[in-house]
Structure formats: C-alpha cells, structure tokens
C-alpha cells in the first residue's frame, strides 16, 4: 500500500503543477463536510452511499417527516380540519421513533431549552 500511496501522491502533485486542478467547479469555496461521528465506523461508507443516492435509513426518514409535520402543525390553526389528522400522524411517528430507540425531544424543543438552562447555570 505504501508504494501505491507514493504513486498516487506523485500523480496528484504532477497534476497540480500542470494546472489540471485550476478552474474546477467549486474552486475557492468552502467544503461542506458532514459530521458522521454518530454513525458506527463500519456503517459510514454504506450510509454515505445511501445518502448520495438519495435514500435515508428508515429512522432518519421518519425523523425528517416528523420535523416536517411539526412545522406544518405550527403553521396551521387548531380548528383546521387537517390539524387532527396531522397531529395523529405525528404521534404515530413519535411512537415509532421511540420504538427504534431514538429520542424525540427534538420535536418538543425540550432539548434546546434544557441546553440553554444548563449553559446559563454554568
């Protein structure tokens, strides 16, 4: 592997010197790196492939849907005929997330409140 690393590094340096990396899309813009430290190391490559292909693990898809439902519920009135159905759907998703072992404090804003309180104490 060491020889392969040297070979690749040499080709990269040669390409830089010849200007092959100049005028690439995104040159000079910051990289948008994803924090995947919460994903087990052996699953990171698979999750990255799924994400790049537009797929999410079921728990994350449910979490995303729950956040969208919460925003929608906050934007409509309680006497709206859709409110109760959307609220039921959100409750069901919250139960599914609990069954998957995920915390749902993000739906209630409790986590942010506790974090701010803890920071104010310290």
Complete DSSP assignment for 84-99: HHHHHHHHHHHHHHHH
Q: In this prediction, what percent of the chain has a pLDDT beyond 70?
A: 93
pTM, whole model, 2 decimals? 0.50
Q: What share of the chain is helix, strand, coil (3-state, %, to 5)?
A: 65, 0, 35
What proportion of the chain, given as a percentage, has pLDDT over 90? 17
For residue range 50-77, what is the model confidence (pLDDT) as tens digits?
888 988 778 778 888 988 998 888 888 8
Q: How confident is the model at residue 8 (pLDDT cuts 50, 70, 90)?
A: very high
**Could you tell me where the DSSP H helices lie in 18-80?**
41-52, 58-75
Give residue-wise pLDDT tens across range 37-48: 777 888 888 888
Location of structure tokens 């990289």:
31
């Amino acid at each position: 592997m060491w020889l392969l690393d040297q070979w690749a590094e040499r080709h990269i340096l040669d390409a830089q010197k010849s200007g092959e990396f100049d005028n690439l899309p995104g040159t000079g813009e910051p990289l948008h790196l994803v924090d995947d430290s919460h994903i087990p190391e052996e699953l990171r490559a698979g999750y990255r492939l799924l994400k790049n292909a537009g797929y999410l693990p079921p728990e994350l898809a449910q979490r995303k849907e729950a956040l969208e439902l919460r925003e929608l519920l906050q934007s409509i009135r309680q006497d709206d005929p859709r409110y109760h159905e959307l609220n039921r759907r959100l409750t069901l998703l919250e139960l599914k997330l609990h069954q998957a072992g995920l915390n749902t404090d993000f739906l209630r804003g409790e986590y942010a409140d506790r974090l701010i309180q803890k920071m104010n104490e310290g």
